């Protein structure tokens, strides 16, 4: 459906436009946008799209509230105050574009690598994400950005096990007899997966949640295994130990489809339940019971999520967990196996090289800056190892001052008077407050896009439902205009947004007629893709021992009693900072109804830890470590296990209690694999404010 008329005779004509949710979420919903008299009046889920099933999360059902928000940035803005103050005056597009282009040209004439694009998944669209923007920065020869802030440890862990970011079809979890919800809080972060898990539960299946926090999801599962953060690798090794001891391996599957198991088997033998229990903060019976359930139930499925890989050993832990269904042969059934990401199924289906045009670099090989260490990068001077000092940053689809680790340093970097900063945004976020220019971007209701997904296997289309508000322009339109201003003459800089959306997928793999007629189309993937091996490795076998990696192992957190006893003596509480239910990363924090639901920045603490510190529920507290302090409201709660506090994220710093957020406390050290941040590997102490 592109736009069907729904109006009753006499009523104002209503049309329904097919859209796709742009947000960074595994569910990537198909949307029905109702438009009446040029205004969006309803955003609903498409009832026919199987994963969406007609339902939306609270946040996105309020998407129109965000689009029509009175504080939307609707004209280009030029800074008049100090960096970070957020004082701007409106300017015209032509003045803004001319000034930005000439500033970037001057820097590029000396050193294009002194210019850095900074973007993540504010929209996951292939057009408004890294389509025209990537073409622009490749042509310019700017520094490349290593986009690691969320998932790259787990991604590399999957690559080193299956050879690709591939997994089960989400729909078939409805038929699983046992589901391990591991490092994932789907009631908050993936409600459409939860719908399938509920169907399984109603059919009598067992649900087990493996998470340090007693989340809403953990409460609704039959069992909650509240391990210490960063100990998932040890738990997986313990499960292997029990599968070996009790003869629960599928030897036929292992012999035919797993490489390197004998060496890992010897390692797993060193992890009896007692040792695992001590490392994970569990009982040995919990480990034994879980192994029995997992080894004896068919089909058994694991919904792994990125929450468990935001620690030093995150990549190794994903390798170990991802091997479990290979050892029990769970992959033989379509409702068995594992899903962390489905994005690898889109490899070769998406026209990435055409969208992003890395060939425009020609012979140039710019340096790569890791987005997860943006604080250090912005504060680095020129040096032979670092290269030129960063002189300009162009931010789109991201809010690094709030979301990047060790945000005190990130804010200090963005406050540099000699840094030229352009931010494409909907709102004056913490990052936009530091900009020299803020450029008003369209929302998903106002532009074209095409979407792949990382939690299901459908391609989606998003048509514009309404004209851009005010003077807003789409990201692609802004980079097209900047390219023209800079004199880039390659024909690819004239491709329209619609042309980019039409060209995003390969017609041999996506039924483009169906995509454009109905808004979504399923990829053709076998129902049980690895029933007979067929992993995307060169041999088709899964790797227990991956070439170039060696055997996976449990890697303790950087900040733990094991690795840093002196630090742990001063800061005895491990802090994790998972998403708050009504926010999406730092998006929606400024939507009044959603912020009202979250009330204030919260720190959940177990009653014993609160009593030991003489802290009463609802006190204002300071959470601190050597990197800084963060003021928030204490919630004494059974959601926290002893020794672990939960600082729910990710508030805008300026909407918090003292101009900071939880990332004031996190550090910039990276994961074992994938160069990712270790947000949940963080020791703190807490006292009354
Ligand atoms: N409402 C909402 N939805 C979201 C997001 C959001 O911010 N808000 N974020 C989106 C994004 S960007 C992503 S990447 C996805 C997935 O986002 P994830 O970050 O995977 O988020 P969750 O599914 O909430 O899962 C995180 C869970 O992992 C737990 N956890 C923390 N440390 C550990 C550990 O060491 N081991 C184990 N086993 N568990 C641990 C946390 O307590 C939490 O319940 O969700 C997306 N959906
Ligand atoms: N402590 C802690 N920190 C974390 C995490 C955590 O769990 N704990 N989670 C991490 C994870 S998983 C992730 S993915 C990152 C997320 O980090 P980001 O990707 O930066 O996500 P958001 O904070 O949602 O910011 C996205 C911004 O993009 C803007 N935007 C949306 N659509 C468009 C558009 O079409 N055009 C333009 N120009 N802008 C648009 C939104 O207004 C919003 O301000 O944060 C990470 N940070
Ligand atoms: Mo993420």
Residue 534 burial by Cβ neighbours in a 10 Å radius (0-12, 13-18, 19+): middle
pLDDT category of residue 305 using cuts at 50, 70 and 90: very high
Instruction: Supply the CATH number for residue 210's domain.
Output: 3.40.228.10
Say if ligand 1 is within 6 A of residue 399 CB.
no
CA of 632 to the centre of ligand 3 (A): 23
Contact 316 CB / ligand 2 (< 6 Å): no
Q: Of 340, 358, 391, which residue constitutes the final position of a domain?
A: 340
Looking at the domain assignment, is residue 552 inside a domain? Answer: no
**Helices 273-280 and 284-296, interaxial angle, to 10°?**
110
CATH at 658: 2.40.40.20
**pLDDT beyond 80 at 52:** yes
Are 675 and 623 members of one domain?
A: yes
- 287: confidence class by pLDDT, cuts 50, 70, 90: very high
169 and 131 in a common domain: no
522 lies in some domain? no
Please name which ligand lies nearest the alpha carbon of 398.
2
311 lines ligand 1 (CB under 6 A): yes
- The rounded distance, in Å, linking the Cα atoms of 297 and 300 is 6
Strands of 206-210's sheet, edge to edge?
Answer: 223-225, 206-210, 178-182, 300-304, 337-339
Is 128 a member of any domain? yes
Convert the pLDDT of each residue in 164-219 to its tens digit.
999 999 999 999 999 999 999 999 999 999 999 999 999 999 999 999 999 999 99
- Give the N- to C-terminal CA distance of the chain in Å, as an integer: 56
**Radius of gyration for the alpha carbons in the chain, expressed in angstroms and rounded:** 25
Instruction: State the distance from the centre of ligand 1 to the C-alpha of 278, rounded, in angstroms.
Output: 25
Q: Report how far residue 213's alpha carbon sits from residue 648's, in angstroms, rounded to the nearest whole number.
A: 11
* Average pLDDT taken over every residue of the chain: 96
**For strand 178-182 and strand 206-210, is the pairing parallel, antiparallel, or unpaired?**
parallel
Domain that holds residue 16: 3-67
DSSP SS3 for 408: helix
Residues 291 and 168: beta-carbon distance below 8 Å: no
Are residues 242 and 330 located together in one domain of the fold? Answer: yes
C-beta of 577 in contact with ligand 2 (< 6 A): yes
d(CA 158, CA 223): 26
Instruction: Tell whether 122 and 162 lie within a shared domain.
Output: no
Are 164 and 26 members of one domain? no
DSSP output for 198-258: HHHHHTT-EEEEE-SS--HHHHHSSEEE-PPTT-HHHHHHHHHHHHHHTT-S-HHHHHHHE
Task: State yes or no: pLDDT of 6 exceeds 60.
Answer: no
- Determine whether the shortest distance from the Cβ of 424 to ligand 2 is under 6 A: yes
Per residue in 644-680, pLDDT (tens digit) is 999 998 899 999 999 999 999 999 999 999 999 999 9
Decide if 481 is inside a domain: yes
Whether ligand 2 lies within 6 angstroms of the CB of 323 is answered as no
Residue, of 4 and 466, whose pLDDT is higher: 466
At 11 the pLDDT is 61
Concatenate the DSSP letters of all residues of 312-357 into one string: TTHHHHHHHHHHHHHHTTGGGSTT-EEES--GGGGTTTB-HHHHH-
Residue 123: CB within 6 Å of ligand 2? yes
Q: Is 548 a domain residue? A: no
The band of 270, judged by pLDDT with boundaries at 50, 70 and 90, is very high
Mean pLDDT, residues 288-298 taken together:
98
Pocket flag, ligand 2, residue 299 (CB < 6 Å):
no
Of the candidates 688, 628, 634, 625, the one whose C-alpha atom is nearest the C-alpha of residue 660 is 628
Whether residue 531 is contained in a domain is answered as: no
Same domain, 172 and 318: yes
Is the pLDDT score of 1 beyond 50? no
State the average pLDDT over residues 492-497: 98
* Residue 13 confidence (pLDDT): 80
Ligand 1 atom nearest the C-alpha of 185 is 23
Report residue 419 as tokens: 């840094």
- The total number of structural domains in the chain stands at 4
Residue 588 pLDDT level (bands cut at 50, 70, 90):
confident
Return the minimum-mean-pLDDT range out of 233-247, 496-510, 647-661, 671-685.
647-661
Percentage above 70 pLDDT, the chain: 98
CA distance 158 to 333: 20
The CATH number linked to 62 is: 3.30.200.210
Same domain, yes or no: 330 and 372: no
Kindly tell me the burial class for residue 83, based on how many C-beta atoms sit within 10 Å of its own C-beta (0-12, 13-18, 19 or more). middle
> Average pLDDT in the 596-625 region?
96
Confidence band, pLDDT 50/70/90 cuts, at residue 5 = very low
Return phi, psi of residue 567, to 5°: -65, -45
What is the C-alpha to C-alpha distance for residues 335 and 353, in angstroms, rounded to an integer?
34
At 506-549, the pLDDT tens digits run: 999 999 999 999 999 999 999 999 999 999 999 999 999 999 99
- CB distance 79 to 218 below 8 Å: no
Q: Which of 67, 93, 113 is the last residue of a domain?
A: 67
Residue nearest to atom 14 of ligand 2 (CA): 150
Rounded Cα gap, residues 256 and 243, in angstroms:
18
Three-state DSSP string of 490-502: CHHHHCCHHHHHH
Please report, to the nearest 10 degrees, the dihedral formed by the alpha carbons of residues 497, 498, 499, 505 taken in order.
Answer: 100
Q: Atom 46 (ligand 1): residue with closest C-alpha? A: 25
Q: 393-419 as b/e, with b when 16 or more CB fall inside 10 Å?
A: bbbbbbbbbbbbbbbbbbbebbbbeeb
Domain boundary among 340, 365, 396: 340
Ligand 1 center from residue 415 Cα (angstroms)? 30
- Residue for token pair 């199987």: 50
pLDDT of residue 12: 63
Q: Look at residue 660 and give its three-state secondary structure.
A: coil
Burial class (CB in 10 A: 0-12, 13-18, 19+), 514: middle
Q: Tell me: do 361 and 478 sit in the same domain.
A: yes
The closest alpha carbon to 320, from 99, 100, 157, 143, belongs to 157
What is the per-residue pLDDT for 581? 85
β partners of residue 575: 645
Task: Examine residue 389 and state whether it is found in any structural domain, yes or no.
Answer: yes
Q: Quick one: 168 and 274 in the same domain?
A: yes
* 7: confidence class by pLDDT, cuts 50, 70, 90: very low
183, 192, 557, 644: residue to mutate for ligand 1 pocket, most atoms within 8 A of CB: 183
Token readout for 305 is 């999520």
154 lines ligand 1 (CB under 6 A): no
User: Is residue 345, in this structure, part of any structural domain at all?
Assistant: no
Ligand 2 touching residue 474 (CB < 6 A): no
Any atom of ligand 2 within 6 Å of the Cβ of 650: yes
Task: Give the residue, out of 71, 77, 120, 680, with the most ligand 2 atoms within 8 A of its beta carbon, to mutate for a pocket test.
Answer: 120
pLDDT above 90 (res 235): yes
Q: Is the pLDDT of residue 255 over 80?
A: yes
Report d(CA 46, CA 590) in Å as an integer.
Answer: 27
Mutation test residue for ligand 2: of 188, 311, 585, the one with most atoms within 8 Å of CB: 585
Contact (CB, 8 A) for 117 and 394 = yes
Position 2 pLDDT exceeds 80: no
User: Which ligand minimizes its atom distance to the CA of 681?
Assistant: 1
What is each CA distance from 534 to 231, 341, 499, 509, in whole angstroms? 30, 17, 35, 19
Helix (H) or strand (E) holding 132: helix 132-140
Shared domain for 592 and 471, answered yes or no, is no
Same-domain check for residues 125 and 179: no
The residue whose CA has the least distance to atom 10 of ligand 1 is: 25
Going by alpha carbons, the residue nearest to atom 39 of ligand 1 is 183
- What CATH number has the domain bearing residue 82? 3.40.50.740
656 and 594 within one domain:
yes
């Amino acid at each position: 459906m592109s736009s069907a008329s729904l109006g009753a005779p006499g009523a104002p004509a209503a049309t329904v436009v097919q859209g796709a949710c742009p947000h960074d979420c595994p569910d990537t919903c198909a949307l029905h946008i109702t438009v009446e008299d040029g205004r969006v009046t309803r955003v609903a889920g498409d009832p026919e799209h199987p994963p969406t099933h007609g339902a939306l999360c609270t946040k996105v059902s309020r998407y129109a509230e965000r689009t029509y928000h009175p504080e939307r940035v609707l004209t280009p803005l030029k800074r008049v105050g100090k960096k970070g103050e957020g004082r701007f005056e409106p300017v015209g597009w032509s003045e803004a574009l001319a000034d930005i282009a000439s500033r970037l040209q001057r820097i590029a004439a000396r050193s294009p690598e002194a210019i850095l694009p900074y973007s993540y998944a504010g929209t996951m669209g292939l057009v408004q994400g890294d389509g025209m923007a990537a073409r622009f920065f490749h042509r310019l020869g700017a520094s490349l950005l290593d986009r690691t802030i969320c998932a790259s440890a787990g991604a590399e862990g999957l690559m080193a096990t299956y050879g690709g970011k591939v997994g089960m079809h989400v729909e078939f979890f409805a038929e699983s007899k046992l589901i391990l919800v591991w490092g994932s809080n789907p009631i908050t972060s993936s409600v459409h997966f939860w719908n399938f898990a509920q169907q399984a539960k109603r059919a009598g299946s067992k649900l087990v949640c493996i998470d340090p926090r007693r989340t809403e999801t953990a409460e609704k599962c039959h069992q909650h295994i509240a391990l210490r953060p960063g100990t998932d690798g040890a738990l997986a090794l313990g499960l292997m130990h029990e599968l070996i001891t009790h003869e629960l391996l599928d030897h036929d599957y292992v012999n035919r489809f797993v490489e390197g198991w004998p060496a890992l088997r010897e390692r797993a033998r060193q992890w009896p339940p007692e040792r695992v229990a001590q490392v994970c903060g569990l009982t040995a019976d919990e480990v034994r019971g879980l192994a029995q359930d997992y080894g004896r139930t068919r089909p058994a499925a694991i919904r792994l999520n990125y929450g468990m890989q935001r620690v030093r050993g995150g990549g190794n832990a994903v390798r170990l967990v991802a091997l479990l269904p290979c050892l029990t042969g769970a992959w033989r059934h379509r409702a068995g196996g594992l899903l962390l990401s489905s994005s690898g199924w889109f490899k070769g289906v998406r026209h990435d090289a055409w969208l992003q045009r890395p060939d425009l670099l020609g012979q140039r090989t710019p340096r790569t800056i890791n987005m997860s260490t943006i604080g250090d990068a912005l504060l680095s001077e020129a040096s032979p190892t670092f290269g030129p000092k960063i002189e300009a940053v162009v931010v789109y689809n991201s809010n690094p001052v709030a979301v990047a680790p060790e945000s005190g340093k990130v804010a200090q970097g963005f406050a540099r008077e000699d840094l030229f900063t352009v931010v494409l945004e909907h709102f004056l976020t913490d990052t936009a407050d530091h900009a020299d220019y803020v450029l008003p971007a369209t929302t998903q209701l106002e532009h074209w896009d095409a979407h792949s997904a990382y939690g299901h296997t459908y391609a989606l289309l998003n048509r514009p439902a309404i004209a851009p508000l005010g003077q807003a322009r789409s990201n692609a339109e802004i980079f097209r205009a900047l390219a023209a201003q800079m004199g880039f003459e390659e024909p690819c800089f004239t491709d329209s947004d619609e042309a980019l959306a039409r060209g995003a997928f390969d017609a041999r793999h996506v039924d483009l007629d169906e995509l454009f007629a109905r808004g979504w189309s399923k990829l053709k993937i076998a129902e049980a893709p690895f029933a007979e091996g067929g992993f995307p490795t060169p041999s088709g076998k899964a790797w227990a021992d991956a070439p170039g990696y060696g055997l996976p192992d449990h890697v303790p957190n950087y900040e733990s009693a094991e690795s840093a006893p002196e630090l742990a003596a001063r800061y005895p509480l491990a802090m994790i900072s998972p998403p708050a239910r009504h926010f999406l990363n730092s998006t929606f924090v400024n939507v009044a109804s959603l912020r009202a639901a979250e009330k204030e920045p919260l720190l959940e603490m177990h009653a014993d830890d609160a009593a030991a510190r003489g802290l009463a529920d609802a006190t204002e507290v300071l959470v601190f470590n050597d990197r800084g302090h963060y003021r928030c409201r204490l919630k004494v709660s059974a959601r926290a296990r002893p020794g672990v506090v939960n600082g729910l994220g990710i508030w805008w710093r300026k909407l918090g209690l003292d101009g900071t957020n939880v990332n004031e406390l996190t550090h910039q050290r990276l994961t074992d694999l994938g160069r990712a941040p270790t947000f949940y590997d963080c020791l703190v102490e807490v006292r009354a404010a």
